[in-house]
Structure 1
Amino acid sequence: MTVVGSCVAIGPSTAGAVDSGDPAEKPNAAPPLGAFLGSGAEGVARIAKFEKWLGSPVKVGHTYLPGENWAGIEGPSEIIGPWARWRAKDRSHLLVVNVPMIASNEVTLPDGVVSSLLRGGASGAFDNHFQRLAERLVKAGAPDTVIIPGWEMNGITYTSRCHPDPVMWKIYWRRIVATMRSVTGARFRFDFNATRGRDAIPWTECYPGDDVVDIIGSDSYDQPQGMSFAEFIKEPYGLQAQADFAAARKKPISFPEWGLFHNSDNPDYIQGMHKWMTSHDVAYQTLTDYCPHGVWQCAANPQASRTYRSLFGGLLNGVSKAVPDLSCPPTVPTPPPTPTPTVPSQAPMAAPSPSPGAPVPTEAPSPSPPAPVPAQAPSPPSALPSPATPPAPVAPTPTASDPAAAMSTAASAAAAVACGALKAAEAAVRTAGVSATAEPAVTAMPGTSPAPVVRPSDGE
């Protein structure tokens, strides 16, 4: 522990920690961190500003190939080029690319049409497009890219979905992997990336086989409204199911997309994800950073933003530096010493001069975090839930005949004042840091996106 002023600052805060429900979990170093900041050169350019705001290195670059046509799925140079150059600057950088399996990927097509397209892919009709993509990535210097074909396949958002024909979908996935691995120099890894929960079909029914999957991913947003993080863990096909499924196959997990959503500005969700990711074998994680999901480019989530910075910020060599917890401990007065009765001796002796007994210091217990207050659904859309305010500790009033208690109470009151000043200063620094380094807020509500960025889904 480190003493800051008159308050005790404890290392990385565990306030609001969420019980994972997994007794076998073991703490790990923080997994490689990233954020979706844009699909092309604009996303690469924002990384340095995001790193400065967060105080942690961004090791994962995440982008999406456009799915409007097959030319987009083959990897346009304006997307592949900037990200491959970012990857080449540092051998520790990891590039993750979401790849649609069918063009056009974001139009509403009947299940019968999707089934027909899946049969075509399973028969090899689209192999040439994935071969070109692999060749372009290798040539650009990104032969070890993590590829996510047909993400969120268990839902209904994309044409590349699984439920119209799971058998054909799995065969098609296997062809894509075989085609891309066949390119000389390729060292790709493939992430099987579903949405958390059951959705339209259990994601386990779409799993194509251990030999063609390297990572088990989950897009895990803070939804539906009113659902707790503990429920995210325990729900069918939820976080625990993902972790167990991967562990049984000796594969790491990932969170290619995660962020806030229907529970608004919810710091408890950020705390839950941090604890879960740092206690499991996570290959990488990337936050979706635009409204309503984000914490840097979205000004609508100030509480979650502060929590994200305190938990994920200040990483040095993958280990979290101490982030002071400036919660003031309750005032605990030191009781006066209990007098010891004196037994008179046979011969009278002069009484010694009295010296004040130094009270033995006692360490005040760390305060228990207040019970989390669920985020309320905003009544106008712009309204944000108010943070819970713990009641101020009340110190007992000393009596004139109790000088030791009076001294202890005065010291505790001074500590409370000093701690309050520290908290106010910290809040001012955090506010200044956000306003000084963050870009203007980018708003992309579900179903829309800031042009011309190719966006991830909202995990619906």
Structure 2
Amino acid sequence: MSHRGRRFAGACSATVAVALLVTGGALATPPQKGFGRDVEDEVAVGAYLHYGSPGVDRMEDLSRWLGGTELRAGHTYLPGDTWANIEGAPESLRSWARWRNERPDRLFVLNVPMLEHNEAGVPDGRVAELLRSGARGAYDQHFRRLAERLVGLGVPDTVIVLGWEMNGFNYTHRCRPDPENWKKYWRRIVAAMRSVEGQQFLFDFAPNRGGDAIAWPRCYPGDDVVDVIGMDTYDQPPGRSFEDQVKQPYGLQQQVDFAEAHGKPISYPEWGLFRNGDNPDYMGNMLAWIAEHKPLYHSITDYCPHGVWQCSQNPRSAEVFREFLSSEQGHDPHDTGRGKVRPGH
């Protein structure tokens, strides 16, 4: 939903991303497979800081800014430019794996593109051809190699955010050109990755909020190949107010209801400010929504214009975010009005 082409444009923290997660309340959903390290009993909250090794290095600083709040999980993206990168070629995966394995209760979340040239403006007709090829198994080997690499690095229980924002117009791995073959392709990828010995992967289905190019339930590939129902959501249309973003077709409430109907936890892999500038009301409302609905994890996109820690142009929103999540503060999850916070006990 946010800026396209932002994932890997150099080393500047304003153009790349990583999610860091911190401890919250108890999940309202049953434990899922792969949550055997006490993850099922906690909500994790994060900030997208940098996709590579610098993201690991910045965790300590973010923790300090949050008054010592423990960062319990990390989130990064694989580049979608070449199959080699989708197979896990980036050396920074080793840094993330080392970080993950320093503590048994940490969680590693990895966004994985479904096709190469993922941000190259590939036309719909060609996308449909690629999806049909994927549905027939033409690319299975790439995902088996990724799975083997993750298992070999000691992160076999990685949360895989596969083909994120598939209901949009932009990524080559989008669903609209051929929804039926998109679903078949997702299923092929999951089968290929689950075929690797030792894997315990969790697969996160994460569309954009709202209708976008296609209604995201039309892309849902099935309960047996999805473990988490995610959503990327920013302070921008569709939805002029936060209430609109909740109640709109294919919005936040529909995500929660869909996940409950399918027996899945929810997540917010990307969220943050965008079209409305420094908006502390939105920040407070989104944090209150998260506190009420208890996702497995959520990750604010922390570079300008979306973020609060690495982006100095949103000071009022930064104050709300910090007070809400700081280990030195507390908040009342039942007080959902405009991001109000109260001192800790």
TM-score (norm 2): 0.83
- After superposing on structure 2, the runs of 4+ consecutive aligned residues of structure 1 that deviate more than 4 Å are none
Match of 1:96 among 109, 126, 144: 109
Aligned to 1:284: 297
Three-state SS of the structure 2 residue aligned to 1:59 is: strand
Deviation at 1:323, TM superposition (A): 6.4
Deviation at 1:133, TM superposition (A): 0.3
Q: Is the 8 A contact 1:226 1:263 kept in 2?
A: no
Cα deviation digits, residues 186-227 of structure 1 (max 9, x gap): 000000000000100000000000000000000011112871
Three-state SS of the structure 2 residue aligned to 1:138 is: helix
Three-state SS of the structure 2 residue aligned to 1:185 is: coil
User: How many aligned residue pairs are there?
Assistant: 299
Aligned to 1:33: 45
Three-state SS of the structure 2 residue aligned to 1:148 is: strand
Q: Is the 8 A contact 2:272 2:300 kept in 1?
A: yes
Q: Is the 8 A contact 1:232 1:239 kept in 2?
A: yes
Three-state SS of the structure 2 residue aligned to 1:115 is: helix
Aligned to 2:81: 68
Question: In the superposition, relative to structure 1, how do residues 131 and 301 fare at CA in structure 2: closer, same or farther (>3 Å)?
Answer: same
In the alignment, structure 1 segments of 5+ residues that lack a partner are 1-24, 316-320, 325-367, 373-425, 427-460
Three-state SS of the structure 1 residue aligned to 2:240 is: coil
Three-state SS of the structure 1 residue aligned to 2:304 is: coil
Q: Is the 8 A contact 1:259 1:293 kept in 2?
A: yes
Three-state SS of the structure 2 residue aligned to 1:103 is: coil
Match of 1:192 among 205, 224, 229: 205
Q: Is the 8 A contact 1:31 1:277 kept in 2?
A: no
Q: Is the 8 A contact 1:258 1:286 kept in 2?
A: yes
What is the CA–CA distance in structure 2 between the aligned matches of 1:182 and 1:69, rounded to whole Å?
A: 23
Aligned to 1:156: 169
Answer 1 or 2: higher relative contact order, Cα 8 Å, separation at least 6: 1
Cα deviation digits, residues 20-60 of structure 1 (max 9, x gap): xxxxx98xx97211221111111111111111111212222
Amino acid aligned to 2:51: S
Q: Does 1:258 align with 2:271?
A: yes
Aligned to 1:322: 330
Deviation at 1:137, TM superposition (A): 0.3
Identity of aligned residues (%): 55
Q: Is the 8 A contact 2:81 2:118 kept in 1?
A: yes
What is the CA–CA distance in structure 1 between the aligned matches of 2:238 and 2:294, rounded to whole Å?
A: 28
Q: Is the 8 A contact 2:78 2:90 kept in 1?
A: no
Aligned to 1:125: 138
Q: Is the 8 A contact 1:222 1:269 kept in 2?
A: yes
Q: Does 1:220 align with 2:228?
A: no
Question: In the superposition, relative to structure 1, how do residues 273 and 65 fare at CA in structure 2: closer, same or farther (>3 Å)?
Answer: same
Cα deviation digits, residues 387-412 of structure 1 (max 9, x gap): xxxxxxxxxxxxxxxxxxxxxxxxxx
In the alignment, structure 2 segments of 5+ residues that lack a partner are 1-26, 29-40
Amino acid aligned to 1:149: L
Match of 1:80 among 93, 97, 100: 93
Amino acid aligned to 2:288: K
What is the CA–CA distance in structure 2 between the aligned matches of 1:125 and 1:323, rounded to whole Å?
A: 50
What is the CA–CA distance in structure 1 between the aligned matches of 2:330 and 2:169, rounded to whole Å?
A: 43
Summarize the alignment of residues 367-378 of structure 1 with structure 2, pairs less than 5 Å apart: none
Q: Is the 8 A contact 1:154 1:201 kept in 2?
A: yes
Cα deviation digits, residues 248-301 of structure 1 (max 9, x gap): 011110000001000110111111111111111411111111000010000000
